[in-house]
Amino acid sequence: MKGLIFSVKRYSIHDGPGIRVTFFMKGCPLNCIWCHNPEGISSLPEKVLRNNRVGGKTFQVEEEVGKYYTVKEIIEILDKERVFINQSGGGVTFSGGEPMLQFDFLLEALEACKKAGYHTAVDTAGYSQAENYKAIMPFTDLFLFDLKHLDDKKHLGLTGVSNMLILDNCRFLAREARSIMLRIPVIPGKNNDMVHMKAMRDFITKIENGNIFRISLLPYHKIGSMTYKRFGREWKMEGVEPPSGDAMRLLKEMFSETGLKVKIGG
């Protein structure tokens, strides 16, 4: 079986503990207007033009985004980094896009990674059937689970899908998964007003949250905006600036009232 991956990041330190290899899988059922990885949204390989500068001149070269990997190739990549991974308490993270969209490959890859002795993490937007999460749970040491908006209508407008399945899966994993890190993107003007953020805090406090080991508040940034142009997609966040350090610290303080560890950043 093969999985479609658009990027392999070695020495990643923001996608779980230690030094990790992160595989960014192609395809996402959501279409968040602030998405930093627009190349991960389509489930198919895509051709894009990249500017290359040689000797002061700029040339455009066509590049294919998305490559198929076998599970064996995934393990071979990890084995090359085994020393760094082991010494740092790291592992492997499957991110995206939405890795659950290539469920059969993900399951097989996670199983093989566990068998090879690696700590495994899955970064998910939560929009997959509960039975799929249940199936990968025995081979997943950590879930990185994104919570974007509690209001269903606003969630639909911002991401293209309802949040009902996501909230159900959040409750389920917070109760049943080995370990879960909740990741909340802080998007100015979209989800960061205090009334909504306090509702998020209350949601987290009220669910059975015993397996949530940390809340990560991810400040919006504009790094993905150039990628939108390359992919011929419309950047809908023009003029939106990242939240200030003070605003992030205020949110951190507020989310600490859940009694859980809170961090700014991944």
Task: For residues 90 and 17, give the distance between their C-alpha atoms in angstroms, rounded to a whole number.
Answer: 5
Distance CA 95, CA 122 (A): 6
Q: Contacts with ligand SF4 in 158-187 (CB under 6 A)?
A: 159
| 148 touches 164 (CB < 8 A) | no
Contacts of residue 227, defined as CB under 8 A and 6 or more positions apart, other chains included, come to 37, 38, 39
Q: How many CB atoms lie within 10 A of CB 78?
A: 21
Residue 110 is encoded by which pair of tokens? Answer: 């996670």
Q: How far is CA 245 from the centre of its chain?
A: 22
Q: How many residues bind ligand SF4 (CB under 6 A)?
A: 13
Q: Indicate whether 30 belongs to the interface with ligand SF4 (CB under 6 A).
A: yes
| 3-class secondary-structure state, position 66 | coil
Query: Which of 21, 41, 101, 136 contacts ligand SF4 by CB under 6 A?
Result: 41
Of 16, 91, 97, 219, which lies in the binding site for ligand SF4, with binding defined by CB under 6 A?
97
Among 66, 91, 96, 243, binds ligand SF4 (CB under 6 A): 96
Q: Which is nearer to ligand SF4, 189 or 210 (CB)?
A: 189
Residue 144 sits in the site that holds ligand SF4 (CB under 6 A): no
> Which of 4, 5, 21, 35 touches ligand SF4 (CB under 6 A)?
35
* 39 contacts ligand SF4 (rule: CB under 6 A): no
CB of 148 to ligand SF4, least distance (A): 8
Rg (CA), the chain: 19
Q: How far is the CB of 184 from ligand SF4 (least distance, A)?
A: 12
Ordered DSSP codes for 178-191: S-EEEEEEE-TTTT
Q: Indicate whether 125 belongs to the interface with ligand SF4 (CB under 6 A).
A: yes
Contacts with ligand SF4, residue ranges (CB under 6 A): 28, 30-32, 35, 37, 40-41, 96-98, 125, 159
